[in-house]
């Protein structure tokens, strides 16, 4: 079983914040966003507790969340880090490929990054992610420094929304051609 400091619970703080935000958005009829379950196949189940004790991933997952905001389809991944740099290896090629294809279909893709050491979240536009991703693929820096981020996309908690990403989404939409 995962413990508080295990790799298995990395990102659970952000995931809980996003889940609660999504519930609030749905209650207010602003958005319908669903968590995409990671497909697993159980290998061993504890017969007493009926808990899965060993499993493997069936396939690579795409992104963490998918849904629609007032007619705008969106998908995003939620990532958490505990220092001033975000390693690109936390994002996988198949996720970038999925988000690229999603954007080609007129959807909006992005990543939410929670810097737990600073207690601040960031909305990373797909175009921004693509720039950093290409830099890493072309032999450049394979992480994103906090100082490189656009100050207009940091998210502040407000009105009961833990990670109020709709404001940043609106800003993202307004900047697109």
Backbone φ and ψ of 121, nearest 5°: -110, 160
Q: Which two tokens stand for residue 113?
A: 């990054």
Backbone φ and ψ of 108, nearest 5°: -115, 125
95 annotated ligand-binding residue: yes
77 annotated ligand-binding residue: yes
Q: How far apart are CA 78 and CA 122, in angstroms?
A: 10
62 annotated ligand-binding residue: yes
CB 63 within 8 A of CB 90: no
105 annotated ligand-binding residue: no
Please report, in range form, the residues annotated as the binding site for Mg(2+): 62, 64, 77, 95
Please report, in range form, the residues annotated as the binding site: 62, 64, 77, 95
């Amino acid at each position: 079983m995962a413990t508080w400091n295990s790799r298995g619970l990395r990102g659970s703080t952000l995931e809980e914040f996003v889940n609660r935000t999504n519930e609030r958005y749905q209650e207010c009829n602003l958005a319908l966003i669903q968590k995409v379950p990671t497909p697993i196949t159980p290998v061993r189940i504890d017969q007493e507790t009926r808990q899965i004790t060993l499993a493997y991933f069936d396939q690579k997952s795409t992104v963490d969340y998918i849904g629609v905001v007032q007619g705008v389809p969106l998908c995003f991944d939620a990532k958490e880090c505990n220092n001033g740099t975000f390693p690109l290896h936390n994002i996988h090629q198949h996720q970038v490929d999925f988000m690229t294809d999603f954007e080609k279909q007129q959807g909006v893709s992005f990543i939410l990054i929670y810097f737990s050491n600073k207690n601040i979240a960031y909305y990373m536009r797909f175009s921004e992610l693509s720039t950093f991703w290409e830099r890493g693929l072309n032999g450049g820096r394979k992480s994103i420094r906090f100082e490189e981020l656009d100050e207009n996309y940091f998210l502040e908690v407000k009105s009961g929304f833990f990670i109020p990403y709709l404001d940043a989404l609106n800003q993202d939409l307004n900047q697109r051609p």
